[in-house]
Amino acid sequence: MKLSKAVIPAAGLGTRFLPATKAQPKEMLPVVDKPAIQYVVEEAIGAGINNILIITGRGKRSLADHFDRSFELEHYLKRANKLDELNGVIEISELANFYFARQPEPLGLGNAILISQSYVANDSFVVLLADDLMAPESTVLREMSEIHSKTGSAILALKEVSQDEISLYGCVGFEKTDDSNVVRITSVVEKPDLRTAPSNLAIMGRYIFNSDIFSYLAELKPGKMGELQLTDAISSYLENSEVLGYVFTSGRYDIGNKVDYLRTNFEFALNRSDLREDFLVILKELSDKYL
C-alpha cells in the first residue's frame, strides 16, 4: 500500500534558541528564506505523501497560519502586481492536506506521536522530525518508502556518527542484510553513553511505522529525561516485529542547535543559484577578516 500520511511533531519549546523562540515556534525559524518546517513538508510531499499532520502546542499557531491561505496578504500582493510572490504564497497552502493537533503537555516525542492515532487509523505512516533537514535532492525518504512497501516492516533512517556524538541520538544494535544499505535492527536505546552504545549508527529523525506501534506508545513509561520516548516504544515493538534501518551517509542537516543551524543556512544558501555568487564574496571577506 502506498504511504499517504505523515506526522510532524512540532510541539517542543525550542529553549536552545531563546530568545528567538520566545514568541515564535522554532520550526518557523528561517533557513535562508523559508521556515524550517516547510523544507520538511516539501520532503514528505517529494516522497509522494499528501496528508500531513503537524502536532503543535501552545504558542504555535503561526505553524497553522503558514500552511493556510492568507487572504489579506494575497489581496495586497495582487494589488501591488507582485504576482510571483502571490503565487508563491498561495502554493504553500496547496502543497498538501494539512491537519493540526495539539499536544496538551510536553511529555515527550512518544506521547506526541500517540496523539496522531485516530488520524493514522490502520495505515502505515511516516514520522519526520523537524530538527533534521534533508538536502533538497535527498532520496532517503523515498528509498525508505520503497523498502517499506516491499517488506511491510517498520524502518528507521540511520547514519553513522562519531563517538562523541552518539549520546545525542537514539542508537541501534543491528545485523547486516543482503542489501548493504539495509540493516535488521536488534536493539534501540535512546541517547546511550559511549560505553553502553550498541554501535555508532544513530537514528536520524525519519521513521516509517505500521499502526501497531500505537499499542506500544500507549504503554510507555517515562524514560530518558523523564519523557515518554519514541525510542522506548520501538524497543518494545522490536520484541514482536521486524524493524529495519536504512543507512545513508550524507545530505542531513541538524538545525537543533545554533552552530549547526548556522551551517545549514550557509550550505542551503550556497546551493542556491540565485544567492551563491554574492554569498561566496561575503564568505571570502569574512574568512579574510576572521580566519
Please enumerate in sequence order all residues whose Cβ is within 8 A of that of 225, keeping only pairs 6 or more positions apart, or say none. Answer: 108
Residue 138: how many CB atoms within 10 A of its CB? 20
> Which residue, among 250, 252, 216, 253, has the nearest Cα to 232 in the 3D structure?
216
Q: Output the nine-digit C-alpha cell for 241.
A: 516485529
What is the distance between the terminal CA atoms of the chain, rounded to a whole angstrom?
A: 53
The residue among 49 and 158 lying less far from ligand G1P, judged by its C-beta, is 158
Least Å distance, CB 73 to ligand G1P, is 32
The C-alpha atoms of residue 34 and residue 23 are separated, in whole angstroms, by 18
Binding to ligand G1P (CB under 6 A) within 22-81 occurs at: none
Least Å distance, CB 283 to ligand G1P, is 27
Please enumerate in sequence order all residues whose Cβ is within 8 A of that of 237, keeping only pairs 6 or more positions apart, or say none. Answer: 154, 212, 213, 216, 243
The residue among 86 and 133 lying less far from ligand G1P, judged by its C-beta, is 133
- Of 14, 170, 223, 245, the one binding ligand G1P by CB under 6 A: 170
- The answer to whether 231 contacts ligand G1P (rule: CB under 6 A) is yes
- Of 44, 49, 53, 204, the one binding ligand G1P by CB under 6 A: 204
- The answer to whether 169 contacts ligand G1P (rule: CB under 6 A) is yes
Least Å distance, CB 188 to ligand G1P, is 8
Q: Are 212 and 237 in contact (CB under 8 A)?
A: yes
The residue among 27 and 131 lying less far from ligand G1P, judged by its C-beta, is 131
Query: Which one of 32-40, 63-71, 202-210, 271-279 is the stretch in contact with ligand G1P (CB under 6 A)?
Result: 202-210
Please enumerate in sequence order all residues whose Cβ is within 8 A of that of 58, keeping only pairs 6 or more positions apart, or say none. Answer: 102
- Of 14, 35, 57, 205, the one binding ligand G1P by CB under 6 A: 205
Q: Are 214 and 128 in contact (CB under 8 A)?
A: no
Helical axes 83-93 vs 71-79, angle rounded to 10°? 160
Least Å distance, CB 16 to ligand G1P, is 10
The residue among 16 and 34 lying less far from ligand G1P, judged by its C-beta, is 16
**What is the residue-wise DSSP string for 173-221?**
EEEE-SSTTEEEEEEEEES--GGG-S-SEEEEEEEEE-TTHHHHHHT--
Count of residues in contact with ligand G1P, rule CB under 6 A = 14
- Of 55, 60, 67, 132, the one binding ligand G1P by CB under 6 A: 132
The C-alpha atoms of residue 30 and residue 38 are separated, in whole angstroms, by 9
- The answer to whether 203 contacts ligand G1P (rule: CB under 6 A) is yes
The residue among 7 and 77 lying less far from ligand G1P, judged by its C-beta, is 7
Least Å distance, CB 88 to ligand G1P, is 29
> Which residue, among 208, 228, 225, 202, has the nearest Cα to 217 in the 3D structure?
228
88 to 127: interface string for ligand G1P, x by CB under 6 A: ---------------------x------------------
In this chain, which residue has its C-beta nearest to ligand G1P?
A: 170
Where do contacts with ligand G1P occur on this chain (CB under 6 A)?
Answer: 109, 129, 131-132, 169-170, 190, 202-205, 230-231, 256
